[in-house]
Amino acid sequence: MRHKPLREQVIVVTGASSGIGLATARMAAENGARVVLAARSGDVLARLAEEFGARAVAVTADVGDRAQVEAIADRAVATFGGFDTWVNVAGLTVYGPLREITQDDHERLIRTNFWGTVNGSLVAAEHLRRRGGALINVGSIASDLAFPFQGLYAASKHAVKGFTDTLRMELIAEGAPVSVTLVKPASVDTPLPNRARNYMDRQPTLPPPIYPPEEVANAILHAAVHPQRDIFVGGGGKLFVMGKEFAPGAYDELAPAIIALQKRAEPPRDPAGALHAPARAGEERGDPPTYVMRTSAYTRASLHPLASAGVAAGLAATAALLLGGLAGGRRRL
């Protein structure tokens, strides 16, 4: 399946007020697409719509509410006559031990990350069944890995993967002209940690390696024209997923290190974050204390199938050596 060039598309982006969503919307507009910007932060969206000009429209919406998601689609139809690609990006996280997180915080995270994706996907699919186009959901390497102290985030991204795979199969069974892609980024330099609900005694951060949000945006917009089933963004993330599959017990033993890598050496800045109300929106990038990769050679290769087989084989061998050695060392203890 192949879709229209970007310059001929109307693209809906949820979570468009910051991070990956903002980078994707901006890149799409720069490539000539018309863009429907959706997020809770109406003031930020208004500024972005002014920046993008007549090729953009802003819709203030909480994706956890199905009626508000339907309003996004209605606005796209009213303004541009419909849409060709729908990208579900909106997402938040909570840092802390599962036992300490309140039920309200658990439920709010699932409502945004999982139900927001379900609502967006089902609303988009109804429209795209008639018109044809692309549905792109942003999962995470946490769709395949667990992360202690981000347990509900990992659970939500596991659920996004299961839902996305099932919806894809049902659309194939119908013969619907809709491609479904799951994009799974590794750590990305966005404001996500600074907007997180935080139960830890330190300011949260992301474990390295960290990749730029533009790398994810490029993968998303590639899939809008040249559909792929799954796209990992960041060879480091792909390596960890493959290593975990090879030696899951060894990966479990990394829990203390993973927890430590998610803590900065400073006290919390804003423990409430943006979980229950919009906050700290308007920026593509965060302020990680470690180096941010310029690109991902693995991801760029994976967007071209002939090149990706060799890269995957090399990663598989590296993952086997890395976690296989760790597992063997643990057995010798």
234 contacts 161 by C-beta, under 8 angstroms: no
CA–CA separation, 253 vs 136, rounded Å? 33
Q: Is 251 among the residues known to form the active site?
A: no
Which helix (H) or strand (E) element contains residue 232? strand 230-233
CB atoms within 10 A of CB 43: 13
Residue keyed to tokens 């700290």:
280
Q: Residue 183: what are its φ and ψ, rounded to 5°?
A: -100, 130
Question: Across the strands, what pairs with 71?
Answer: none
CA–CA separation, 33 vs 200, rounded Å? 41
Amino acid at 152: L
Which residue, 238, 283, 154, 228, is CA-closest to 1?
228
Instruction: Find the catalytic residue in 153, 211, 251, 298.
Output: 153
- What is the separation of C-alpha 328 from the centre of its chain, rounded to a whole number of angstroms? 34
15 contacts 256 by C-beta, under 8 angstroms: no
CA–CA separation, 108 vs 61, rounded Å? 15
- Helix, coil or strand: residue 38: strand
CA–CA separation, 178 vs 199, rounded Å? 41
Which 8-state DSSP code applies to residue 18? S
CA–CA separation, 137 vs 166, rounded Å? 13
Which residue, 255, 230, 275, is CA-closest to 146?
255
**Catalytic site residues?**
153
